Structure 1
Amino acid sequence: MNRVLIGDIFYSSNSENLKKIKNLEDKFCCNFLQLRLEKDDSRLHYDRVLREFYIERIYDSSSAHVIKNCPWCGKKFPKELRSEWFNILEKEYNIEPEVGKNGEWVDNVPKEFKSDEWWKKRGL
């Protein structure tokens, strides 16, 4: 079986994989980042709620290193919105979000703030 190297990932060159590689949406700054984020075993993640990219720590998966630039093309990522998320919830809804025992937000957070809807709606 032939393999194709894209970034630092080898893909089998079957027609389904090659089609996926050639037809990537321009969702992120480069195909390498897109492909890495799609891998199940990747420690690189994108949080669409807070618009931040981060690398999960090997020794502690409950914490992470936020990264500001693409590791492959060097392009600066859009500003992460962690502070804005908390500030808007406090100012507009009088909510101070709490994290539950399972690491999820307690139900007092409005639905739009559990996705990227809140920052897209506000043009951030």
Structure 2
Amino acid sequence: MTTVTNHCCETMSRQVDVSCDEHDNPYACPDALVEFSAKFQEYGLIIHDGGTSSSTIAFCPWCGRRLPASQRERWFEELERRGIEPGEDDIPAEFEDERWLASPPR
């Protein structure tokens, strides 16, 4: 299983990496359309309603390619296997991005 280091197309890369001089938070910036969660390998369309919601997408809106399968369930399973309870225990740093996908099981 590979992690996403390159996005499916140039437009997706620009959208995921959009920077704004006015807004530090992409959820506050009307120009930010897509978020990418490295730890879950998920893409989502940002819902600009004042919160931090997004709607997960399975295909790129620009090139039409299928996006990688979400690793959200696997992330929680791996934490559980290691005896880590999200919300109660500290989450190891490697679980905050895609590094956990490459680490050997303990």
The question of a shared fold, defined as TM-score above 0.5 by the shorter chain, is answered with yes
Q: Which category describes the TM-score, using the shorter chain as reference length?
A: 0.7 to 0.9
What's the secondary structure of 1:65's corresponding residue? Answer: strand
Unpaired runs of at least 5, structure 1: 1-25, 99-105
Q: C-alpha displacement at 1:60, in angstroms? A: 4.2
Provide structure 2 residue ranges, at least 5 long, that are not aligned to the other structure: 20-30
Structure 1 residues 51-81: Cα deviation after superposition (integer angstroms, max 9, x where no partner): 1001121114222101111000110011111
Distance 1:94 1:37 in 2: 33
RMSD: 1.8
- CA shift at 1:120, angstroms? 2.5
Report the Cα distance in structure 1 between the residues aligned to 2:59 and 2:50, rounded to whole angstroms: 22
Q: Does 1:34 align with 2:18?
A: no
* TM-score, structure 2 normalization: 0.74
- So what's the TM-score if we normalise by structure 1? 0.64
- C-alpha distance after superposition, 1:16-51 (max 9, x if no partner): xxxxxxxxxx81111111112221231311111111
Instruction: State the number of aligned residues.
Output: 89
Structure 1: which 4+ aligned runs deviate by more than 4 Å?
none
Higher share of residues assigned helix: 1
Instruction: Give the number of the structure whose alpha-carbon radius of gyration is greater.
Output: 1
Confirm or deny that 1:94 pairs with 2:83: yes
Q: Which has the higher strand share?
A: 1
Q: Which has the higher contact order (CA 8 A, sep 6+)?
A: 2
Residue 54 of structure 2 corresponds to: 64
Identity fraction in percent: 28
Q: Which residue of 82, 85, 93 maps to 1:111? A: 93
